[in-house]
Amino acid sequence: MKKELPTPMHVGAERRQWIRHPRDLTASCRKIGTLADVAPWWGTVVDLCARGFRLLRSRLIQPGIFLSVELQAQPPELTYRTLVQVIRSNKTEAGWELACAFVSSLAESKLRQLLFPPLRSRQTGASRRSQLDKSAISSSRPPAD
């Protein structure tokens, strides 16, 4: 007769200590130790908490790597620069999801600014990029007669 083992209480339960907030922020990133003249690569922050965030990008970054990250907020004066460490990476249909932990916890006031920007500036990362593309196109057109 097989003896059934008890299921640990944490199996299937949420064990995170910090609430994750869905967010759509553009992030520019550089691997620590990379020359400053090397172009940053881009990703999208899909959720955020006081201890870190989940970043979606097209290529893998190995766990353990430290990154310098700039979270592109609106208005631009709310943009936040920080250091993170990649904790986990997961391949998904959309690309690579990187779990990143802040080297120093995010202050509650900064977390609020990133989660709840002023109403006039609430846009998704995609709509901000679209606006930039439109302004670049309009500025490259010759003036109308």
Could you read off the pLDDT of 20-33 as tens digits, one per residue? 777 788 999 999 88
pLDDT of residue 118: 74
pLDDT digits (tens, 9 = 90+) for 77-111: 888 899 999 999 999 999 999 999 999 988 888 88
Kindly state the tokens that stand for 69.
Answer: 């990250």
Q: Calculate mean pLDDT across residues 4-24.
A: 57
Query: How many residues in the chain?
Result: 145
pLDDT of residue 69: 94
- Expressed in angstroms, the distance from the first to the final Cα of the chain is 91
Please, are residues 101 and 88 in contact by the beta-carbon 8 Å criterion? no
Confidence band, pLDDT 50/70/90 cuts, at residue 113 = confident
pTM of the model: 0.66
Phi, psi of 119 (to 5 degrees): -55, -40
Q: What is the largest CA-CA distance in the chain?
A: 91
Please, are residues 93 and 42 in contact by the beta-carbon 8 Å criterion? no
Q: What topology is assigned to 21-113 in CATH?
A: Thrombin, subunit H (2.40.10)
pLDDT of residue 107: 86
Comparison of pLDDT for 55 and 35, the residue scoring more? 55
